[in-house]
Amino acid sequence: MQRRVRTRTIAAVSALGLAAVLGGCGVGGESSDVTLTLVAADYGNGAADSSKKYWADLVDRYESGHPGVTVDVSVYSWNDVDRKVKEMVDAGDPPDMAQIGAYADYASQGLLYQAGDLLSIPVQADFLSQLSTAGEVNSVQYGMPFGASTRMLFYNKELFKEAGLTPPTTWDELAECAEALKARGVTYPYALPLGPEEAQAETMQWMLSGDGGYTDVGGTYGIDSTENVETFSWLRDELVGKGLTGPVAPGKLNRAKAFEAFAAGEVGMLNGHPSLMEMAEKKGVKYGMVPTPGADGPTSSTLGVADWMTAFEKNGHRDEIGDFLDFVYSEQNVVAFSREYDLMPVTNSASRAMSSSGQDKELKPFIDQLPLSELYPVGKTSWAAVNAEIKKRIGEAVEPNGSPAGVLGGLQATAVRAENAG
């Protein structure tokens, strides 16, 4: 099928006033044939590494080879980006593209282009298969993975050496290590962040390590499964109940604070993603990484997390959007983004390039895990409501007198209601 309309005149100044950031100045008073708008999340920690710089470089390179197409990018923090896009959609003025945390609600409303109507066949086929599948609603891909990460157990090498410990491979070994670290005065022998910031991640990682998960093999919610109840009962009785998770109640401890404490040398062990490596290195903390311990051995499947690129149909421009996204997902650009923000590449070609490069040796353990990872059930429109309730309630399951069966049962009821409402 013939597509990819090529426009002819020179791009004009950005309609959203971002010319100073992204370039695209007009020449001779001419206006662009097509202006594409993109709202994107900021993966940086400040002005020095803001995603604005990544997009500015990428867009400059794209526009220089595609006269007649202007791409205007607005970058928002993760605290604001999903809300901003929702406000734009509710106002009837969605961006052409949005790089955000979820896609299923917009897909279910019939607002998004299918990935296959945008991307060339080689580009769509290059996505890691489980990420493509996670981007589907009713077996049709709408969400295009943009950045991904997995989890490993980080441990403080110096604290372990002082206590004569080796990294754990099972829950029992993890508890034994935590006991030894507590005896030596370590503030957080095992940091268990079940606070509202990212409780859904720690929760799913522990569920997977106990052979459970949010859904069963058929994709039906099984939050209160026997395996999940046993996992959280073990956490309550063997870690939290024995004072091995530190001075802050897990339900009050957020992931960011747990990472900060690890980088300060106050944590013996915790589940972490690649950004923790740089945090620890900057503070001089020597760390090791191993697969997350499971009930009887290393966990065979880890948590995978992906963010999503979406494209809205409202303004048209299907061919121009598709051509731009083909460029975004080129091996060169995926590798550059992944390296800049310590994220896993979402394509096979970029994964091969980074796995074989000595430059990315520290990321390789995470890259190797990604094909076997399991993602949140993001293709369900009910996930947003379930996710929000997990963040509110899961910490109660591991309180000294908490009821894992009761809390998980309540979350399951929320999931069922949300599914029926959808």
Cα–Cα distance, 34 to 69 (Å, whole number) = 5
pLDDT score for 304? 92
Domain span including residue 29: 19-148+305-375
pLDDT tens digit string along 100-135?
988 999 999 999 999 999 999 999 999 999 999 999
Q: How confident is the model at residue 242 (pLDDT cuts 50, 70, 90)?
A: very high
Higher pLDDT, 422 or 123: 123
Q: Is the pLDDT of residue 8 over 70?
A: no
pLDDT at residue 7 is higher than 70: no
In angstroms, what CA-CA distances link 277 with 256, 271, 303? 13, 12, 18
Residue 22: what pLDDT?
38
277's CB contacts (< 8 A; 6+ apart) are 287, 342, 362
Using pLDDT thresholds of 50, 70 and 90, give the confidence band for residue 14: very low
Residue in the block written with tokens 């503030």: 187
pLDDT band at 182 (very low <50, low <70, confident <90, very high): very high
**Residue 340 belongs to some domain of the structure:** yes
What's the pLDDT at 24? 38
The CATH number linked to 222 is 3.40.190.10
Longest CA pairwise span in the chain (Å): 74
DSSP 236: I
What is the structure's pLDDT at 314? Answer: 95
Residues 354 and 388 grouped into a single domain? no
Task: Please count the CA atoms within 13 angstroms of the CA of 257 that sit on its side-chain side.
Answer: 19
Please tell me the least confidently modeled range out of 24-33, 47-56, 183-192, 254-263.
24-33
CB 69 within 8 A of CB 32: yes
Reported residue count of the chain is: 422
Mean pLDDT of the chain: 90
Of 375, 391, 408, the position where a domain reaches its end is 375
- 310 lies in the same domain as 323: yes
Rounded-to-integer distance, Cα 321 and Cα 318, Å: 5
Is 5 among the domain residues? Answer: no
pLDDT digits (tens, 9 = 90+) for 200-219: 999 999 999 999 999 998 88
Give the count of domains, the chain. Answer: 2
Residues 294 and 165 in one domain: yes
Q: Which of 375, 395, 411 is the last residue of a domain?
A: 375
In a domain, 4, yes or no: no
Q: Are residues 129 and 45 in the same domain?
A: yes
According to the model, what pLDDT value does residue 397 have? Answer: 98
Res. 61: pLDDT tops 60: yes
Cα–Cα distance for residue pair 295/234, rounded to 1 Å: 10
Query: 96 and 71, same structural domain?
Result: yes
Query: In 80-229, where do the E strands start and end?
Result: 97-100, 136-137, 140-141, 144-150, 152-156, 188-190
Percent above pLDDT 70 for the chain: 92
Question: Is residue 188 domain-resident?
Answer: yes
Note whether 192 and 310 are same-domain residues: no
Specify whether 108 is located in the same domain as 44.
yes
Q: What is the pLDDT of residue 32?
A: 52
Considering the domain architecture, whether residues 171 and 143 belong to the same structural domain is answered as: no
Q: Are residues 143 and 168 in the same domain?
A: no
Structural element, H or E, at residue 89: helix 81-90
In a domain, 12, yes or no: no
Task: Give the range among 8-12, 95-99, 166-170 with minimum mean pLDDT.
Answer: 8-12
User: What is the rounded CA–CA span in Å between residue 211 and residue 233?
Assistant: 14
Return all residues near 109 (Cβ < 8 A) that are at least 6 apart.
Answer: none
Residue 9 inside a domain? The answer is: no
316 and 330 both lie in a single domain:
yes
Q: Higher confidence at residue 241 or residue 14?
A: 241
- The predicted-structure confidence for 331-385, as pLDDT tens digits, reads as follows 999 999 999 998 999 999 999 999 999 899 989 999 988 888 999 999 999 998 9
C-alpha distances in Å from residue 170, one per residue of 49, 181, 210, 348, 349? 38, 17, 10, 31, 34
Query: What's the pLDDT at 44?
Result: 84
Residues 174 and 76 in one domain: no
Residue 25: pLDDT band (50, 70, 90) is very low
Q: Are residues 166 and 220 in the same domain?
A: yes
Task: Quickly state the pLDDT bin for 78 (edges 50, 70, 90).
Answer: confident
117 or 278, which is more confident = 117
Q: Which residues contact 62 (CB under 8 A, 6 or more apart)?
A: 69, 71, 324, 327
Answer whether residue 186 is part of any domain: yes
Please, which pLDDT band fits residue 81 given cuts at 50, 70 and 90? very high
DSSP state of 252: G
pLDDT in tens, 137-148: 999 999 999 999
| Residue 10, in any domain of the structure | no
